[in-house]
Amino acid sequence: MRADLEWFRTFKAIFDTGTMSDAAKELNISQPGVSLHLSSLENYIGHPLFERNTRKMIPNERARKLYRQICYSLTKLEEVENSVRKRSGKERMTLCLGVYSGLFSQLIAPHIADLDFNLIVQFGDNDKLSKLLESGSVDIIITSIETPIHNISYQVLGTSEFIVAAGKETDISQFQQLDIENKGQVRKWLQSQLWYSNEKNIWARFWKLNFKKESDFAPNYVMPDKNTILRCLEKGVGLALMPHSICRDSIERGDIICLWKGYVEMKNTLYIGHRKNSILSDEIQQIKEIMTTEFEKCHNESCQPLR
Is the full-model pTM beyond 0.95? Answer: no
pLDDT digits (tens, 9 = 90+) for 52-63: 877 789 999 999
Task: Say which residue, 224 or 303, is predicted with more confidence.
Answer: 224
Residue 307 clears pLDDT 70, i.e. is over it? no
Q: What is the pLDDT of residue 218?
A: 87
The pLDDT tens digits for 250-289 are: 998 999 999 999 999 898 899 999 988 888 889 999 999 9
Q: What pLDDT was estimated at residue 300? A: 65
Q: Closest by alpha carbon to 262, among 303, 221, 217, 216? A: 303
- What tens digit of pLDDT does each residue of 62-111 get? 998 998 888 878 877 776 666 555 445 556 788 999 998 888 988 999 99
296: confidence class by pLDDT, cuts 50, 70, 90: confident
* More confident site: 100 or 1: 100
Instruction: Please state, rounded to an integer, the average pLDDT across all residues of the chain.
Output: 87
Q: Is residue 129 a contact partner of residue 263, using CB atoms and an 8 Å limit?
A: no
